[in-house]
Amino acid sequence: MGCFGFLKGMMFVFNGIIFLAGAAILGVGIWVKVDSGSVLSFLGKIENAPAELSQVLNVGYLLIALGALLVVIGFLGCCGAVRESKCMLLLFFIIILLVFIAEVAGAVVILVFRPLANELFTKLGTAAVQNIKADYGKNPDVTGLWNTTMSTLKCCGFYNSSDFVGSPFYVDHNQQYPPQCCPGAEQPCNQTVADSAATITGCFPKIKKLIDDNTVVIVGVALGIAALEICAMAVSMILYCRIKSRND
């Protein structure tokens, strides 16, 4: 009985944290999408905040989806443990199992189809460069997104600065590149100045290097999440079986 009570308590605390975190994320996502004016006003008050920070509004839907999922999981886990509800515990187990299967399937697909990754990245790069050449400097959303990405990652273009050749920005600014391609330069960011900024690479090589340098951390976090999911499924199933046998 003591072990059963301990598992119920751990189930309640663990899923209570998940529920609160999900509610917070859901609240932020709803606020971002519903009251975008206040968000932009808040961002505008941040000292030295770039105008491109308004692009954070685009993550609202992701926050809402993630928050809603965490709220449902946390609610089922908490209530299922406290009320000793077989239905809630079973739903909790099924949802965690589906998430776990999706993660494993994604990992298997990445490993099995890894030889096709280069082809996929090539197509992605072609689309990204075409996007820059067609809309950078003309479409505010595209321009802001790329500026935010380049400012955050300290990079220039998808592959390099030549991605901007022929873009509306390049044409309208007398064949100049965005200032992110020439950090600290006092003169206009032209081809010569951009080439001299050897420390600035494309965003894709920069992201790839970040992933390669942090592979161990990424794998460790993934394994940790998988272990927590397995423990959550095991505990929920133990409680479910114990409650079922007691009621029967």
Asked whether residue 145 is domain-assigned, the answer is yes
Q: What is the residue range of 53's domain?
A: 2-115+214-247
Q: How far is CA 149 from CA 50, 112, 114, 243, in A?
A: 12, 30, 26, 51
Of 208, 144, 207, 147, nearest to 181 by C-alpha is: 147
User: What is the dihedral sign for C-alpha 102, 244, 227, 77?
Assistant: positive
In order along its 248 residues, the chain shows pLDDT tens digits of 567 788 888 888 888 888 898 899 888 888 777 765 555 554 444 444 444 444 555 667 778 888 899 899 999 988 888 888 889 989 999 999 998 998 888 778 777 776 776 677 778 888 889 989 999 988 888 888 888 888 888 888 888 888 999 999 999 988 888 888 888 777 788 887 877 766 678 888 888 888 888 888 888 888 888 888 898 899 888 888 888 887 76
In this structure, are 111 and 218 located in the same domain?
yes
Asked whether residue 58 is domain-assigned, the answer is yes
In this structure, are 201 and 228 located in the same domain?
no
Those residues whose C-beta lies under 8 Å from the C-beta of residue 141, and which sit 6 or more positions away, are 55
Q: How far is CA 21 from CA 14, 27, 30, 69, 179, in A?
A: 11, 10, 14, 11, 38
Say how many C-beta atoms besides its own lie within 10 A of residue 236's C-beta.
Answer: 27
Domain count, the chain: 2
What's the rounded Cα separation, in Å, for the pair 206 and 152?
A: 11
What's the rounded Cα separation, in Å, for the pair 172 and 89?
A: 61
Q: What is the pLDDT of residues 179-209, one digit of tens each?
A: 888 887 777 888 878 777 666 788 888 888 8
Cβ atoms of 244 and 107 within 8 Å: the answer is: no
In this structure, are 108 and 150 located in the same domain?
no
Asked whether residue 125 is domain-assigned, the answer is no
Asked whether residue 188 is domain-assigned, the answer is yes
Of 30, 33, 15, nearest to 75 by C-alpha is: 15
Asked whether residue 131 is domain-assigned, the answer is no
